[in-house]
Structure formats: C-alpha cells, structure tokens
Amino acid sequence: MTARPKSKPKIGFDSGPAGGWGSARSVTEIVLREQVPVSGSALLAKQNKPAGYMCVSCAWAKPAKPHPLEFCENGAKATAWEITGRRVDEAFFASHTLGELEGWRDHDLEEQGRLIHPMRWDEASDKYIPVSWESAFTEIGRELKHFDPKNVEFYTSGRASLETSYMYQLFARIYGSNNLPDSSNMCHESSSVGLPQSIGATVGTAVLSDFQNCDCIFYIAQNVGTSSPRLLHDLQDAVDRGVKIVTFNLLREPGLERFTNPQAPTEMLTLKETPISSEYYQLRNGGDVAALMGVSKALIEADDALHASSLSKVTGFDAAPKDPANAAAVAFAASMAAADKKHVLDHDFIAEHTAGFEEFAAAARNYSWDELERVSGLTSGQMIEAARTYAASDAVLICYGMGLTQQIMGVENVEMIANLALLRGNIGKPGANICAVRGHSNVQGQRTVGITEKPELVPLDKLSELYHFEAPRWEGHTTVDTCKAILKGETKAFISLGGNFLRAVPETAAMEEAWREIPLTVQIATKLNRSHVIHGKIAYLLPCLGRLEVDHQASGPQEVSIESSVAQFHGSRGRAKPASPHLLSEPAIVAGMAKATLTTGTVPWDSWVANYAEIRNAIERTYPETFRDFNKRFMQPGGFHRPVPARERKWVTPNKKANFITPPRLFPIFEDAPTGSNVLNLSTLRSNDQFNTTVYGYNDRFRGVNGTRQVVFVNKHDIISMGFAPGDIVDLTTAIDPQTERKVRGFRLVAYDIPKGCCAAYYPETNPLFPLAHHDPQAKTPSYKLLPIRLTRSQTEPIH
C-alpha cells in the first residue's frame, strides 16, 4: 500500500526567514532520504558553474562569477531527487498492477526512484513489462505511420535541452504535425502573447546586470523564496545597495519579506536578516489590472497637476486631473514640484517610442478610486504610495510571475506591466527592463528552437530547405486545444517529452477518463507519475538520462545547452553516474522514434546523436543571428545573450512602436456568475516542498503547514462569517459552469493572512476544479490563479 506521511498534520509557524537554517535542514533531510550516493553532495558544488551542470529546478540565470555554492534549497532538492539511490526496477512493476498504482499519490509514485528500463503496458496482467529499445521504437513507428499527423500530439515539459527540443520539433514537423503543446502554454504563454503586442518581444527584456543598475524593483505575483531562490541573492544585493523593492502579492510570502543567506556562514551565525520588500501590497487575486491602473492613474494625474501649474509651457496633455480633490494625488504632485520636477512621465520617451498613450491615460483618469479600490483590494493611498516610489526612481526593473499570467486576464496583466514601464521609459536602459521570471529550467529556450504550436514563430522555409521536406503550415494545438481533442476522442497518439500532463492540466476527472481511450501513449521520463499509470491502449514508458548524468555518446561525453529567464544561453555537462546502463539520452530516444517513423527528410539523426555539437551547428544554421558561434560560446562563463530588440528600444511590432494597450475592463466577467454565500476566489500555489507535480514532501515551512497538502488558506473573518472554524474540514466546489459538478473533498481550513473574498490551495490537488474553458481567451493560459469556488462542510475525512 502507499506510504502516508508519518506525522500528524500540524498547522502553525515555526519558520524563520527564507533561506537560513530551515533551508539547510530541509536540504540535509532530502539528501539522506533519497539515499543519494556520497559523490552526490560533492556534485552540488558543480551546480550552475561554468563547466558544471545547470540545475534542473528553476530557470533563474547563472552568473559569470558564481557564488562559491551556486545552488539553493530547492535546487538541492531537485538534484537529490534526480540522482536518488532509489530505483523503479522490473520487480517493482512485476508486483504492482497499474490499476493498483492509480490509487497512489503523486509523492508516492515519484518517491519510488528512477525509471531504469523501457517498459510496455501488458493488457493481460495490467502491468508494465520490460521491452527492448528496438522493439519499442519499431512499434511506435509502425503505429504513428497509420495516423493522421493532425491527430498526434507532441507535448514537451520545459526541461529538455535546446538540442533535444530542436530534434523533437523537427521530428514532429517532418512527420507532418505542428501539434507541439508545451508546459509554457500553462505558464508564461500570456507573456508570449502580451509582450509582442506591447513591445515586440516574445520574452522579457531584463539581463542580470539590471539588478545591479536599477534603483527600484517592482516585484509582482512571484514567490521568489520557493520558486527561484537563487534570485534572492540578486534581490539581497540590490537591497544592500539601497534599492527599493515594491511587492504586489496575494499573500505575504516570507521570501519576499526577509532573507538569510544559507551559504554565508556569518549571516547564518548572526542570523543577519535582509528585509527584502520595502513596500508590500497585499492585493486580491485578479486585482492586478486594477492595482497597476491605480498606480498609472496616480502617475498620470500627478503629471497632469504639474502641467496645470505650468501649462503654458507644455501642450498636448490633458491639463486638469479628473479628481483634483484627491488629497493624496495632489500631495504627490506637490512633492514632485517641490523636488523641482517638471514632469512625472517621460514625455520624450512616450512621444518618440510609443503609441496609444492618450487612450490609456484617458482610461486611467476615468476610473474612480472607489472602483480601483474595490477590485484591487488596495487603498488609493497604497496605490499612490507605490506610484511615488516609482516616480522617485530613475531605473525601475519590473519582475513578475504566475500570479499575473495564469489568469483570465493574463494577457492584459502582462500588457499592464508594459504600460507601467512605458510611462517613465523604464525599458531598454540599464536597470530598467521587464523580467518575466520563468519556470522550468529550459522552458524559454524550447520556444527559441521551435517548440511551439504557432507556425509563424518558426522559420519553416529554412527547415524545409535544410532537411528537404514540406513543413506543415497549419496552426497546431496548445495544451488546452490538446485537452479538447483528447476529450473529443480525436487524439490518436500522445508523445510526451517529460512532464506530467494529466496532473498539470485542468479538468482532471474528464481528462483521466478520455486519456484511457488514446490509441498510443508514449512517455519519455525519469520518474514514475500519474500520466504513466493512467495510459492509452498501447502504452510505452521510456526512461531517459537526466541532465545531471554523464551522457556518453560515440564522440565522448556530451554537453547540452539551455536558456535562462534572462535570455542567456548556458552549457551544461552532466557529472553523475547514470542511474542505469539501460538508459538512453533524450536525443537518442527522439532519434530512435524519428528513424522508425519518418520516410522523408534528410536529418542525419545518427551523427547528431553521436556528437551533439552537430545539433548545435544545425541550430545555428537555422537561427544564425540568435546562435552565432554557438559551439564556441555556450560553455563560456555566464553563457551568452540572445539578442532581444526591445532591449535596444527597437520595437518589432506592426507599427514599429511600443504600444500602450488599454485593458477593456479591470476584472473578468464570469459567465454563469456565481451567486449565494460561501463563494471565494481560489488561487492555486506551489508549496516549498514540490516542483510542479513532483511532490518532495508534505511541509511548506514558509506557510506553517506540516504533514499535509490538503489545506485551504482563508481569511479568518471569512471562515467565521461562513459559519466555520479554523481546522474544520471542507469540500471545494467550482462555482462557475454549474452544469458539470467539479469538487475536491476533505480540505482543512487554515486561517491565513489573505484578503477577504480570496482563498488559496495547492496545485495539483485542486486541478479537478478547473473547467477547461476557464482560460485567457488570447493566450489560452488556464486561469489557475482565479477561480470562483464554494466551500461546504465535508463529510469526508482528510486523507492526511
């Protein structure tokens, strides 16, 4: 039977600051639990170093001059999890049917250890049984040849290297499919849609040195202490230089409040804490458009007020603030005048570089403070205070994460970030840029080398010319489109390069049932998860080397490359002994499937696998500007940057301008708007003890939760007004689209510092609540950070 957490759940804080001793303890615990070979701890010293390997956890940048130990608590956990001494061997599969494993939880499946042999599902015994690589490739190729490529999905989770990703998209396209959904569709897709419209960039414009050159950082909707802890070093250094950090978050996240560097022994001994945020604005989930509109309004109206007093000199701007009675706004303008400022906005920049300002400014002036307060959950005083800090800074860096992108208005959120930056020319100058903090370690890079469903983003002519095939031109599937196709029974094959699709997507219950009807599922993976246990009619589980392992091919040990959140390419060389001699590398598995499937194209699959430098040469031939001298530069300290035109204030938009884009409204309109009591807006989060669907353990020391993940964080006044008490057990039911009941049961109520009307719970346990159609309409990013739900008393005991 599946293991349960050993201790009873305990709710309550005993954690110190982010980092610190808690972090050190947490690392030691997992290294011991995973029976990491002794050499493993030495391996950590090589993490994120030139000539070392690039961490498999988050996408944060690797500096050219690394810290002595360039890793963090969660990087160390991810490393221990991958180089674990535990193995899922043939005996394991012989003793468990997949029907039985369906009853296991995410943690228990992955905790079994590394997959070490290619397996095929055997219908008679309902077990995975070992097969040879050759027979796996042959059958996969034979099946794929029968299907219409439009009905085949090639999913990628954001960990695969640039080399693997390039080969994989080529395999899909020569086969005839643009169905290349990836984890990015559920993650930063709102950025990939919003930023091009605003500033003509598909990625953020920030580089690492911006952290050294800014004098203020707006830090929005990202949980640095858990999700990208190495970025805390950059924040801490900035704070030490006197940089102001202005945070907007649903919760008070300890990593954004204070930090003790666990790698600085003196700090650990003296418990020197760096306070991180100088201003902390706790807003409602979904309240960001309103909050940023409020900040913009304050800036614009203060600018108006300054001009009103010296109007004769300035023309072209609305003179009088809409609401001159507003004392705080007037005080703001007065303070600017006292500082001898003629403007609050950067009018030269606006005139030279942008379009759409007047419309945006008019909209900002028109919103009443009452409405902005009601929707954001902030006071006008708070929004004006943030605007004052913004206006007092010459170079503001704006960082943001999932709290903005995973929303019905995700694209508008991202466009509001750009609007705010454009008001004072905070883009394309040292210290002033937009930093989209990415998730998976190579999620950004995969897009750069062609993993995308959008044919217009790929040099298809070039690919066709290089490899002599006719590339498909039709628009492929995003993850949401893929789910739709699976639910309709149209999907014939689902190939997965990593990831845990079934747990990551919305609409869990219906998806699990439809998944079983897919004729062929192929999972390339390191660890066992639910997307393998539930499976198609023919099902393969193909284990691969991880990035931390030595990847030995015909020409010797290989290196791979990835792209960080700040558009830097880095090389990575595996150091650990492979988990099993039966493992193939990801490039070898992709090549094996491609050779068995394709009848056209002139890709030299074998010589690429023999020497990955050849793949990098092919990438450079395809994208000569982005990857100039790829093989020469990728292993150099700090990697090399990809050109991002917006960073140079070149706007690759249809009108060649950076565009202010006015959001149509402040908050989404829900169809079937929920009525009645006990409705709260849910945001789903990561704990400090997970990496996406990989659940390392049941503690979230930053949020005072120990021994359980079945919790829902609610404001104590809401708990009481709904007739509950903290600790009560409740069910969560989706409050929109009532035609289908979506419910999760047995969650413990935790009284938490969260605005009224909102609640939060962990992903992926709450994914069954999300209707598939509940996504940003342009980007199709599921609205994982905003869903109206209803709480009712539970008849179910919590499972832990």
Ligand X SMILES: Nc1nc2c(c(=O)[nH]1)N[C@H]1C(S)=C(S)[C@@H](COP(=O)(O)OP(=O)(O)OC[C@H]3O[C@@H](n4cnc5c(=O)[nH]c(N)nc54)[C@H](O)[C@@H]3O)O[C@H]1N2
Q: Which residue's beta carbon is nearest to the bound Mo ion?
A: 439
- When asked if residue 694 is in the footprint of ligand X (CB under 6 A), the reply is yes
Q: Which stretch binds ligand X (CB under 6 A): 6-14, 521-529, 597-605, 665-673?
A: 521-529
Among 690, 708, 733, 794, binds ligand X (CB under 6 A): 690
What ranges make up the beta strands (E) of 5-124?
10-11, 18-19, 87-88, 114-115, 119-122
Contacts of 529 (CB under 8 A, 6+ apart): 106, 109, 110, 500, 503, 693, 694
Range 758-777, binding ligand X (CB under 6 A): 763-764, 766-767
- The count of C-alpha atoms lying within 13 angstroms of the C-alpha of 762, restricted to the half-sphere facing its C-beta, is 27
DSSP 436: E
Range 159-188, binding ligand X (CB under 6 A): 159, 183, 186-187
**Which of 258, 785 has the CB closer to ligand X?**
785
- When asked if residue 521 is in the footprint of ligand X (CB under 6 A), the reply is no
Range 80-139, binding ligand X (CB under 6 A): 110
* Tokens (6 digits) for 273: 């804490």
Q: 10 Å Cβ neighbour count for 704?
A: 16
- When asked if residue 440 is in the footprint of ligand X (CB under 6 A), the reply is yes
Q: Minimal distance in Å, beta carbon 13 to Mo ion? A: 27
CA–CA distance, 728 with 724 (Å, rounded to integer): 7
Q: Which stretch binds Mo ion (CB under 5 A): 93-101, 117-125, 359-367, 434-442?
A: 434-442
Among 401, 425, 445, 788, binds ligand X (CB under 6 A): 401
Task: Give the CA distances from residue 737 to residues 541, 623, 729, 788, in Å, rounded to whole numbers and listed in that order.
Answer: 36, 45, 24, 10
Q: Minimal distance in Å, beta carbon 433 to ligand X? A: 18
- When asked if residue 504 is in the footprint of ligand X (CB under 6 A), the reply is yes
Q: Minimal distance in Å, beta carbon 781 to Mo ion? A: 10
Q: Which stretch binds ligand X (CB under 6 A): 385-393, 395-403, 713-721, 727-735?
A: 395-403
What ranges make up the beta strands (E) of 195-310?
216-220, 244-249, 258-260, 274-275, 279-282
Among 63, 377, 403, 574, binds ligand X (CB under 6 A): 403
In one-letter notation, the amino acid at residue 721 is S
**Which of 187, 411 has the CB closer to Mo ion?**
187
- When asked if residue 187 is in the footprint of Mo ion (CB under 5 A), the reply is yes
Task: Give the CA distances from residue 426 to residues 234, 420, 448, in Å, rounded to whole numbers and listed in that order.
Answer: 19, 8, 25
Among 169, 213, 260, 285, binds ligand X (CB under 6 A): 285
Backbone angles phi, psi at 215, to 5 degrees: -115, 5
- When asked if residue 74 is in the footprint of ligand X (CB under 6 A), the reply is yes
Among 30, 31, 43, 58, binds ligand X (CB under 6 A): 58
CA–CA distance, 618 with 163 (Å, rounded to integer): 9
CA–CA distance, 55 with 67 (Å, rounded to integer): 14
Backbone angles phi, psi at 436, to 5 degrees: -85, 105
- When asked if residue 779 is in the footprint of Mo ion (CB under 5 A), the reply is no
Please provide the DSSP assignment of 494-513 as one string: EEEESS-HHHHSS-HHHHHH
- When asked if residue 439 is in the footprint of Mo ion (CB under 5 A), the reply is yes
How many residues are there in the chain? 800
From residue 566 to residue 605, the character string flagging contacts with ligand X as x (rule: CB under 6 A) and all else as - is --------------------x-------------------
- When asked if residue 709 is in the footprint of ligand X (CB under 6 A), the reply is no
Among 213, 222, 326, 734, binds ligand X (CB under 6 A): 222
**Which of 283, 458 has the CB closer to ligand X?**
283
Nearest to residue 425, comparing CAs of 381, 468, 391, 473?
A: 391
CA–CA distance, 731 with 747 (Å, rounded to integer): 6
CA–CA distance, 325 with 181 (Å, rounded to integer): 52
What ranges make up the beta strands (E) of 705-786?
705-706, 711-714, 729-734, 743-751, 758-762
CA–CA distance, 475 with 178 (Å, rounded to integer): 7
Find residue 94's DSSP bridge partners.
none
- When asked if residue 501 is in the footprint of ligand X (CB under 6 A), the reply is yes
Range 531-560, binding Mo ion (CB under 5 A): none
Provide the binding-site residues for Mo ion, judged by CB under 5 A: 187, 439
Provide the binding-site residues for ligand X, judged by CB under 6 A: 57-58, 74, 110, 157-159, 183, 186-187, 220-223, 226-228, 248-251, 253, 283, 285-286, 288, 401-403, 406, 439-440, 497-501, 504, 524-527, 529, 544, 546-547, 586, 683-686, 690-694, 763-764, 766-767, 784-785
